[in-house]
């Protein structure tokens, strides 16, 4: 059995806002194995970014209320700042959503890549770092890397900037790469190339990859496992084929029905009814209940918060975990719903 390379356990993060205390992350647990890609999906505001930023100590506002983030036998949340900083950029690296603003506008691209190498290897000379940085730029597909080394981010396109960010993320042979919507802000035509690059990086380094994305098409293509987040909680986690074949949480079903499918006769996309949960109001029950078609106003949904539970080993969803009181009804319910949705 593989032990996870990064394990987030029961993480909770709060922000104090003028309207009150907002619990953006509410007891999130997920883990990623070496060499595996875990996709984290969920609509905007569900806490995907805050979870990983908090895990790496990169949150500049907010308060971590509880949890552990285990890496290499260490709890990152209780590590002194200096020690944590030494792990960042070497063992644990990040790729951010907006590549144009993720690079320092007044520093050459090459120096920024070289810096990643130098801060983790004091013995490296400037010349050595420059050579390695140029190699890395070439590796991620930046043309004419020795010329590009001396250029500034504004001379790069968004896709090229993201390649540079990926170069920095793989520079020191990371064991975990966290990519927060790495392709959202770039041109559609380069999205696939960047995803390929991440896949190659994963294979080369053997790192575990946490890929945060909105795009279920991307999930289908690159993920091994999926964690679905809703209102600051993981509501379902499952191997990728289960997610598409036998989703166990009504919210996952909702996400899938938003996805246009080439092989389906459904012509309309069905958006999830209702609006995203208000994180300021914490109900004792399931946060998805007000929008849930399966709940049918059953009392337990509003009174008890469902915890992640494993699907039956003999079912189609074996290996899935879902946080729903009626997860065992989901398959039948969604089949029924699909009949209703078929164009008449």
Ligand X SMILES: Nc1ncnc2c1ncn2[C@@H]1O[C@H](COP(=O)(O)OP(=O)(O)OP(=O)(O)O)[C@@H](O)[C@H]1O
Q: Which residues bind other proteins (CB under 8 A)?
A: 56, 58, 60, 81-82, 85-90, 93-94, 96, 98, 101-107, 115-116, 119-120, 152, 154, 165, 168
* Cβ-based nearer residue to ligand X, 19 or 314: 19
* Cβ-based nearer residue to Mg ion, 49 or 93: 49
Residue 44 near which of other proteins, Mg ion, ligand X, none (CB within 5-8 Å, type-dependent) = ligand X
Distance CA 250, CA 289 (A): 10
Residue 24 near which of other proteins, ligand X, Mg ion, none (CB within 5-8 Å, type-dependent) = ligand X
Which letter does DSSP use for residue 267 in this model? -
Q: How far is the CB of 255 from other proteins (least distance, A)?
A: 27
At residue 343, the 3 state secondary structure works out as coil
Looking up tokens 């009504």 gives: 250
User: Using CB under 6 A as the criterion, which residues of the chain lie in contact with ligand X when the complex forms?
Assistant: 15, 17, 22, 24, 42, 44-50, 61-62, 279
The DSSP element (H or E) to which 226 belongs, if any, is: strand 225-230
Which letter does DSSP use for residue 161 in this model? H
Distance CA 337, CA 335 (A): 5
Residue 133 near which of ligand X, other proteins, Mg ion, none (CB within 5-8 Å, type-dependent) = none
Residue 50 near which of other proteins, ligand X, Mg ion, none (CB within 5-8 Å, type-dependent) = ligand X
Q: Give 80-87 contacts, CB < 8 A, sequence gap 24+.
A: 81/57, 84/56, 84/57, 86/120
At residue 341, the 3 state secondary structure works out as helix
Using rule CB under 5 A, residue 49 touches Mg ion = yes
Q: How far is the CB of 167 from other proteins (least distance, A)?
A: 11
Vertex 172, ends 222 and 107: CA angle to 5°?
100
Site residues, Mg ion (CB under 5 A) = 49
């Amino acid at each position: 059995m593989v032990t996870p390379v990064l394990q987030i356990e029961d993480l909770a993060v709060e922000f104090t806002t003028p309207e009150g205390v907002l619990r953006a992350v509410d007891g999130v647990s997920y883990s990623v194995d070496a060499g595996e890609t875990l996709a984290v999906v969920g609509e905007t505001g569900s806490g995907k970014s805050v979870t990983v930023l908090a895990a790496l100590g990169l949150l500049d506002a907010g308060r971590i209320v509880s949890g552990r983030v285990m890496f290499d036998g260490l709890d990152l949340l209780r590590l002194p700042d200096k020690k944590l900083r030494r792990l960042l950029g070497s063992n644990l690296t990040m790729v951010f959503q907006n590549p144009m603003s993720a690079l320092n506008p007044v520093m050459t691209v090459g120096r920024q890549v070289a810096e990643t190498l130098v801060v983790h290897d004091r013995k490296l000379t400037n010349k050595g770092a420059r050579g390695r940085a140029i190699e890395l730029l070439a590796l991620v597909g930046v043309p004419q890397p020795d010329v590009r080394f001396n250029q500034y981010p504004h001379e790069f396109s968004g896709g090229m900037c993201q390649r540079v960010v990926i170069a920095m993320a793989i520079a020191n042979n990371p064991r975990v790469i966290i990519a927060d919507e790495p392709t959202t802000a770039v041109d559609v035509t380069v999205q696939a190339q960047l995803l390929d690059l991440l896949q190659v990086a994963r294979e080369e380094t053997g790192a575990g990859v946490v890929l945060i994305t909105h795009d279920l098409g991307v999930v289908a293509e690159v993920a091994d496992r999926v964690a679905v987040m809703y209102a600051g909680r993981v509501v379902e986690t499952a191997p990728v084929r289960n997610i598409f074949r036998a989703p166990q949480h009504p919210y996952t079903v909702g996400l899938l029905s938003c996805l246009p499918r080439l092989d389906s006769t459904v012509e309309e996309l069905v958006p999830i009814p209702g609006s995203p949960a208000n994180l300021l109001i914490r109900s004792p029950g399931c946060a998805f209940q007000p929008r849930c078609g399966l709940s049918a106003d059953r009392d337990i949904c509003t009174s008890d918060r469902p915890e992640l539970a494993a699907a039956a080993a003999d079912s189609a969803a074996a290996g899935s975990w879902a946080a729903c009181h009626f997860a065992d009804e989901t398959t039948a319910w969604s089949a029924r719903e699909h009949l209703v949705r078929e164009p008449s």
